[in-house]
Structure 1
């Protein structure tokens, strides 16, 4: 049986990899052809589910007139009886239409959500997909549906590992919306006392994510110190630790203070320590800071296996897409150290893949334009994956390892491209250097230690670019790694 399960896992991983390879390339004739071949193998449940998820991954952050994800996935969310196939289709829809506020999908997923005959896994992934599609929208109808399902199902299925994802689906609706969530938090008083604190912590963390609100950080730090739990009460401590990172990741000063606070928390209770590496990873996503790297390297040898596993995954997250040689060396040593532990070796392989993600051309950082803009869908994908990592042994390493593919929502190129008004690539000289904020009065200097390159050019963490020619004038700021330029002899760049 174990051999057959490994074969099925190989099939589903192979098909999903085809979706990853075809990421953002849905217009090509061959992009989805290999995935479509697996739709003919309807008898193989795992390959079919992987094909559905692969279609969603290939269509992530893409809008096309033909809409291939809608054509291939919608029918299997309703008519399919096999739960794994339904989960593949539902996850695919959530990834493909994240942030789209698609009304048609809202009606379809709502019908699945309110059906009490569905398993908790189908219900949980439906809630997450619905939260992704309406991320940051504060949609009242979706919120009311999720609240009713939460109140009906949480108490009966409290021990299930995916139960923690149900409140997270509601939290995604209010991601970064601050006070808009207060009316919803009042409803937590009607919940069973076992879930009340956990509900409040999850909603608070999501609502103030990326705001840098110091008072909320202090509130969450206070929750980390509340270690007395009632009988069968869900522990809010690990989620409060993640909440600190979600709130404090907005600006540099709060970022550094949060890292110092987390270094103190790693000497606390065991349940708090297991979340500290994941919070550090969120604060330094695709940004391998030396002090954080040293902390995670030390925690990767911790006597508690869950702390060690979280630290190994976090090493991959802070080095994601950077090809960092030091992290690669640490992970290589860990692969030899944990060669006899299959779970930890799995973590090491995942971390190694993240470090070399896209051959060093991609990033998982949800911020862009010099930390001026935050992508809600990218942050949502990271948060879902980190929440799943809070329960590695029963969730991530057993039945629900495909939660890792929510990271595709945060993947984006870290190259600087220059195009004209017709979106045709231009080769333009640019100066690339470390971002600074000094210079003469009236003539601020934005970079230092620069080198001149021709676009496209790869930007490292903390790098900024400025035009090195007077031939073009910028019409828009850097957005998603792209600058639109116009050739106009009447204007020059200062």
Structure 2
């Protein structure tokens, strides 16, 4: 009765949320780029409006109408595919089956989105089978030559195991932080993932790995990369609510001779 009163018995379309059907000129004159952006925005609205519903009218559809991912482009395809994790949140058994077909797409962006969707789907779910760990830490994904797929695997683990303090993930993610041969985007996203997993724990293994990466002479050129700021974010997450323990790491950062050290501190 309450669901009927709130009009939430059926999944919503974005148009039901922001009433575009009332604007007769909406969409007129949009370029292909603008249209793709509009479609991406609709994918986000759809994901939040139908989060955890397990059904929608845009992504989880068969036949000529969908899925909506084909109406977006480039990185938009990644985000749109990842929205499946929101729609199917916590329905691990059924959700993984529905996401699986996207992992076989030709486009790396769609495959990366599927990996991120797996992480979102499993967020807050603890199962003995650990499907997120098995899938996202698989070398075929986390060591893939595709940067988007590797980043999605790394962040998927962080989202899936946020706040879990899962020690096994140190063996998976710390080597990515410390490997000087890797692109900074990969090395910097691993601390964010670790920061989510060990949020508020002041885990010394993670904090030391990040600090020493910032101090590494071999990394000095890489540290000018825009992605370096995410190392700072990962470090901050570790000390969330633990201000009384931050003095040691601050002293280490003061010794770092690089412009990034000051904003990080």
The TM-score normalised by the length of structure 2 is 0.68
User: Which residue of structure 1 aligns with residue 186 of structure 2?
Assistant: 122
Q: 1:58 aligns with which of 112, 116, 121?
A: 121
Secondary structure of the corresponding residue to residue 32 of structure 1: helix
Query: In the alignment, does 2:131 pair up with 1:68?
Result: yes
Question: Alpha-carbon deviations, 1:257-299, whole Å to 9, x = none?
Answer: xxxxxxxxxxxxxxxxxxxxxxxxxxxxxxxxxxxxxxxxxxx
- 2:85 pairs, out of 2, 15, 19, with 19
Judge conservation of contact 2:180–2:219 (CA < 8 Å) in 1. Answer: no
What is the CA–CA distance in structure 2 between the aligned matches of 1:69 and 1:129, rounded to whole Å? 14
Higher relative contact order (CA 8 A, sep 6+): 2
Q: Residues 122-165 of structure 1: CA distance to partner in whole angstroms, max 9, x if unpaired?
A: 11111100111111111111211111112227632344222211
**Residues 142 and 149, structure 2, Cα contact 8 Å, conserved in 1:** no
8 Å CA contact 2:220–2:258 kept in 1: the answer is no
Map 1:366-445; keep pairs closer than 5 Å: none
For the pair shown, the structure with the greater C-alpha radius of gyration is 1
Q: Distance in 2 between matches of 1:9 and 1:185?
A: 36
Q: Distance in 1 between matches of 2:243 and 2:188?
A: 24
Listed as ranges, the matches of 1:102-141 within 5 Å are 102-141=166-205
The answer (yes or no) to whether the contact 1:94–1:129 under 8 Å persists in 2 is yes
Contact 1:77 1:90 in 2 (8 A): no
Name the SS of the counterpart of 2:127 in structure 1. coil
CA distance in 2, matches of 1:170, 1:70: 23
Tell whether the 8 Å contact from 2:159 to 2:196 is kept in structure 1 after alignment. Answer: yes
- Verify the 8 A CA contact 2:239 2:246 in the aligned structure 1: yes
Deviations 1:53-110 (A, max 9, x none): 0000111111122222112111145431211110010010000011111121111101
2:262 to 197, 200, 207: 197
**Gap change, CA 1:127 and 1:26, over 3 Å in 2:** same
Residue 100 (structure 1) aligned to one of 127, 140, 164: 164
Q: Alignment partner for residue 231 of structure 2, among 140, 163, 166?
A: 166
Q: CA RMSD in A?
A: 2.4
- Structure 1 partner of 2:74: 8
Residue 45 in structure 1 maps to residue 108 in structure 2: yes
Shift of 1:46: 0.7
Task: Please tell me whether the aligned partners of residues 136 and 142 of structure 2 are also in contact (alpha carbons under 8 angstroms).
Answer: no
CA contact (8 A) 1:155 1:192 kept: no
**C-alpha distance in 1, partners of 2:102/2:235?**
34
Partner of 1:353: none
Once the 2 structures are TM-superposed, how far is the Cα of residue 198 of structure 1 from its aligned partner? Answer: 1.0
1:26–1:32 CA contact under 8 A, matched in 2: yes
| TM-aligned CA deviation for residue 8 of structure 1 | 3.3
Q: Distance in 2 between matches of 1:32 and 1:161?
A: 34
2:97 is the counterpart of 1:33: yes
Moved more, 190-199 or 174-183: 190-199
Indicate the structure with greater helix content.
2
Q: 2:145 aligns with which of 77, 81, 84?
A: 81
Q: In the superposition, relative to structure 1, how do residues 26 and 170 fare at CA in structure 2: closer, same or farther (>3 Å)?
A: same
TM-score between both structures, scaled by the size of structure 1:
0.37
What residue is the counterpart of 1:155 in the other structure?
Answer: 220
Per-residue CA deviation, residues 347-394 of structure 1 (Å, 9 max, x unaligned), is xxxxxxxxxxxxxxxxxxxxxxxxxxxxxxxxxxxxxxxxxxxxxxxx
Unaligned runs of 5+ in 1: 201-494
Question: Which 4+ residue blocks in structure 1 deviate beyond 4 angstroms?
Answer: 2-6
More strand by share: 1
